[in-house]
Amino acid sequence: MNLLPDIVGFQRAVYLAFAEHIKAFADGGGWGALLFYLPMGILFGATHALAPGHSKTILATYLAGSPLGILRGLAVSLVLSFTHVTMSVLIVLLALPLVSFSSFANPGRAPVLEDLSRGLLGLIGLWMLYRAFRRKPQSHREGEGFAVGFTAGLIPCPLTLFVMTFAVTRGVPEAGVAFAVVMMLGVALTLSVVAVASILFRNGMIHLLESRATLLELLSRVVEAAAGSILMLIAVREMLA
């Protein structure tokens, strides 16, 4: 069952409703109506993050191949969500010329940031692959997970770009920022579910093999090598697309 058309239809409806509320706010309607509708942005963000993209595959792949626990995994997903939405806000407020806008079906993009994100992800994947084949097992670096979350989040959220641009052109950037905050909460909710599911799956596999230390060590290396390879392939594929 393909839910993508329903997700896109819901996003369009909520986006248009937000546009109307921002327009009313810009015309002197006050914060009342906008604040009343803002909680819908959380559901909007959560649904939006279900659509293809948003680095869900990158997040799941990295966490499946890393030793991070649930709290650290959740932190990585929050960093990714924050960066993903905040980049859109900063682009519109500070660097609007970097963005090329088209229709709703082909949302705004920031090619420079996208290429930077993919290149850094490829390097992280290469490092994971190298580490997996080193003879002595290496401990997980403290900030690596946060680096992955930040790097994957550098690709800006296209719908936040649209709403922020609409708000700025109406002279009410604060309304766009308010939308971005609630949407970020929704995106974080979905990505947190992905993070927890990935870690629970990995821990379940480890539990099944914990009585076989040699096999477990081999599996850990294979999983990390696979995760690194997948990150590299994603980066290369996206850069060549």
User: How high is the mean pLDDT in each 10-residue block of the chain (241 residues)?
Assistant: 70 81 85 82 86 76 85 94 90 64 45 64 69 58 80 82 86 90 93 94 76 63 72 70 62
What span, in angstroms and rounded, lies between the C-alpha atoms of 165 and 171?
A: 10
Rounded Cα distance between 72 and 62, Å, is 12
Instruction: Please tell me the predicted confidence (pLDDT) of residue 127.
Output: 67
Query: Taking the model in full, what pTM does it have?
Result: 0.73
Reference 227, options 59, 68, 79; nearest CA is: 59
- Provide the token pair at 141: 């670096």
Cα Rg of the chain, angstroms: 20
Separation of alpha carbons 142 and 11, rounded Å = 37
Helix (H, G, I), strand (E, B) or coil at 100: strand
- What is the structure's pLDDT at 103? 39
* Main-chain phi, psi angles of 111, to 5 degrees: -55, -40
Amino acid 217: pLDDT: 65
Residue 25 DSSP symbol:
I
